[in-house]
Structure 1
């Protein structure tokens, strides 16, 4: 089979983006967006990819002339959808450690305008032991600070040579936290007030929210995809879902310089805003909340993967009622926007190409219920004065799911239809449920609901919450989860 570089080529453009990170997500998200924008004539710029860590290799990029394929596989408008796109926007790849001179030279490019990063959630940290004289500094904020300083000096502090910083690390207010780290390093390294002012006035630190499931190299399917769909070998093949959302928050409007929000026909979903909080809340409450509120019950009805739950009429109705009756009304966006997002979420859960195991979602469900369900529960309770029916049932499902037989090798062993299943949570959580799940149902419920270390508050204060959970859990234990869900839905 031929190699990708034998059948495809790229036309170099000016480098407008430096990207810290060469991983799967950036390549199937940011680089995909830029590639589509280039094709549509909206951006006309290339990316220089920087390997920001000392280990690893860029050999596959060099071998393939920086070409690779993004394979999007899922549903779109209710139908199975496959898109294989050769990405041609990566101009060069640079090792910040092994090729420091070439890396540092990127800071001096007149055409450069954007810095993108995905250095993991632990990457945006202030480290007072980091040093300016290192080539490069150890941390990502250290690398970025020195990179900006070298650009500042190269262009003598020209106000139009600042950069737009777009971190996509999965932490809230990622741009603000990165900016704070940079400012602290400027002070620590004594780089001067003039440089600090240039960073404040000429650079834009955006906080972003990103959403696309990227599974990366499809090891079990790569050979078949290359042979039957692509017709070439691609060692950098990168698989993901069709859905993508990029919310970009900034104090200054940058949409004119990053014109990718109007490319709707290409499936681009980009929102420029001065407040991303409602969109983050929408994602956490609807997407994450739908998972956490429903998949434990689905598992106890016999479903092992999310798609099976979505294709089961009973489990799907449970999720739809939970999402549209109780979650969507609490989202602080226009109802039609929240409903449209919810419909896209249900479509994503029904992806025919992804076997998303429920037991992997079940990891740390206690902290997930607190962060993803409890805020919605509070809002519903405040509005109606009573515990919301479906979210309350999700708590009973959690207690049923966490009914432990034993702890073994650091994981919980529970039973479904007499067969064991295993999953994990923090050690204090596992110890609590091992100790309490065998109590009479009402005592078990009250012990769990009043455990403030889990929820940050005593949930028994919410009217008849504990009594309703107790009734639900008794029904689940007596008649099984399927019968309990039918009863909940009035069937």
Structure 2
């Protein structure tokens, strides 16, 4: 039987990369969430800094969901990070044992322990990932029991800290939410203040929140698939069992809006240049939205109708790979590179990430809310490209046409719409599916249909018919995709180019 990964195992394996001195480091971070993203990004960076002797602090984790914390306690908080993927064209396959977590507390059963933890003056940082719905206002009173919502939990923790340490300016926290919400730090602070008013907490406490605490907007980017399917075989090769094992891609980005005070508190940022503390994260949000998310949205319907099922398959098929390269490097990148100097490097990293053989990112999943994503991610790029070059971006136009074909229903049942690829049907998971179904029902004239869709204010932030020639180009492409088939068309186009 294989030994379990814990402190005892580490003591018998001096080559593990974990040094015993790390166990004695004080708890400096309170982390809400045990999920794979936080462990694969935040905890990875803290562990990296500790091993370099930079930060010398550990993390006390709050498990917000129901369930026990036995896996963490039996393994003394240790877990394996398996970095797998492509970086700068090279295959990466690296194992690391993470020792950043000191303990894990269940938010309900361990609420008193959590409040006691914030009595430590060394604890100066709070990090969260409670999903996007976690940052919302729910009016509730704070008391002896754990509140239900994360913002109310945070308010209770701040109130405990304020009362225990006296409310001076050096007793506050640096608070960094990582939920994928625009201006997540500002939004969280607004909700906490709203809850403080609801709880009728004193003005001195409100002043302390403003003057002693820093709520930071942040953006995280790392694909963390989590526990591998073939864990028993991998564990056998590693020589130990680990129920907390996670896989991560080589790429990471954590951009935080902050100043020198934030940098001093989050000292572990010095261990990795990909963790950035800067005056604005808007350029990083822009490059991720346009280059990574935007190219996904442009390519997914086309690649799916071509007959492919994952992003990795796209990068192995020459015609769709060519489409991805053209969209990313020739059409999206030029529209943002001037305002975001690091975008050129990021664009190449995006293509490397798409080619990661260890991540099965399903195309049908990417098409979830396809039309809304097209509006949020690519409509502005279409307009910017035309304004810069006075011509239409051909591959984004093709992606738009493929989206319309993908959203063409072959049947409707109980309010659900189904499209068709070859002999199989697929569910169209798009809130605008009824809108497109109505247009296709009337669409005997493709040009008239596309013109109408482009002008439909329910779908786009602007009338796309104001983009000269766009509707005609999309209609022409859509007609060819329908008559020739996506695969035949793509192969022919690639031969021409």
TM-score by length of 2: 0.92
Establish whether residue 436 from structure 1 lines up as the match of residue 439 from structure 2: yes
For 2:424, what is the secondary structure of its paired residue? strand
Establish whether residue 141 from structure 1 lines up as the match of residue 151 from structure 2: yes
Q: How does 1:238-249 map to 2 (within 5 A)?
A: 238-249=246-257
| Aligned counterparts of 1:332 and 1:187: Cα–Cα separation in 2 | 44
CA contact (8 A) 1:166 1:206 kept: yes
CA contact (8 A) 2:5 2:241 kept: yes
TM-score by length of 1: 0.93
Which residue pairs with 2:15 in the alignment?
none
Which residue pairs with 1:12 in the alignment?
24
Which residue pairs with 2:17 in the alignment?
none
CA contact (8 A) 2:54 2:267 kept: yes
How big is the shift at 1:435?
3.2
How big is the shift at 1:346?
0.4
Q: 1:424 aligns with which of 409, 422, 428?
A: 428
Gap regions ≥5 residues in structure 2: 12-19
Q: 2:49 aligns with which of 32, 37, 50?
A: 37
Which residue pairs with 1:210 in the alignment?
220
Moved more, 433-442 or 165-174: 433-442
| Aligned counterparts of 1:87 and 1:305: Cα–Cα separation in 2 | 30
Which residue pairs with 2:373 in the alignment?
368
Which residue pairs with 1:389 in the alignment?
394
Which residue pairs with 2:298 in the alignment?
293
| Aligned counterparts of 1:291 and 1:390: Cα–Cα separation in 2 | 13
For 2:267, what is the secondary structure of its paired residue? coil
For 1:396, what is the secondary structure of its paired residue? helix
For 1:214, what is the secondary structure of its paired residue? coil
Q: 2:232 aligns with which of 198, 223, 230?
A: 223
Establish whether residue 103 from structure 1 lines up as the match of residue 114 from structure 2: yes
String of CA shifts for 1:321-355, please: whole Å, max 9, x gaps: 11112111121556652111010000000011112
String of CA shifts for 1:412-465, please: whole Å, max 9, x gaps: 43232x3213133235x2223333335232233123222211113322222211
CA contact (8 A) 1:406 1:434 kept: no
Q: How does 1:79-228 map to 2 (within 5 A)?
A: 79-128=90-139, 130-218=140-228, 220-228=229-237
How big is the shift at 1:153?
1.4
Which residue pairs with 1:343 in the alignment?
348
CA contact (8 A) 1:249 1:275 kept: yes
Which residue pairs with 1:481 in the alignment?
486
Please provide the CA RMSD for this pair. Answer: 1.9
For 1:215, what is the secondary structure of its paired residue? coil
How big is the shift at 1:46?
0.5
How big is the shift at 1:134?
4.5
Which residue pairs with 1:320 in the alignment?
325
| Aligned counterparts of 2:47 and 2:95: Cα–Cα separation in 1 | 13
| Aligned counterparts of 2:328 and 2:304: Cα–Cα separation in 1 | 18
Moved more, 15-24 or 471-480: 471-480
CA contact (8 A) 2:27 2:60 kept: yes
String of CA shifts for 1:192-223, please: whole Å, max 9, x gaps: 121111111111110100001112222x2111
| Aligned counterparts of 2:178 and 2:407: Cα–Cα separation in 1 | 34
CA contact (8 A) 1:58 1:93 kept: yes
How big is the shift at 1:251?
5.4
Establish whether residue 237 from structure 1 lines up as the match of residue 245 from structure 2: yes
Q: How many residues align?
A: 482
CA contact (8 A) 1:296 1:398 kept: yes
Moved more, 3-12 or 233-242: 3-12
| Aligned counterparts of 2:425 and 2:94: Cα–Cα separation in 1 | 36
CA contact (8 A) 1:175 1:206 kept: yes
Moved more, 361-370 or 281-290: 361-370
Which residue pairs with 1:28 in the alignment?
40
Q: How does 1:389-408 map to 2 (within 5 A)?
A: 389-408=394-413
For 2:458, what is the secondary structure of its paired residue? helix
| Aligned counterparts of 2:388 and 2:338: Cα–Cα separation in 1 | 17
| Aligned counterparts of 2:412 and 2:239: Cα–Cα separation in 1 | 49
For 1:256, what is the secondary structure of its paired residue? helix
Establish whether residue 282 from structure 1 lines up as the match of residue 291 from structure 2: no
| Aligned counterparts of 1:260 and 1:339: Cα–Cα separation in 2 | 26
Gap regions ≥5 residues in structure 1: none
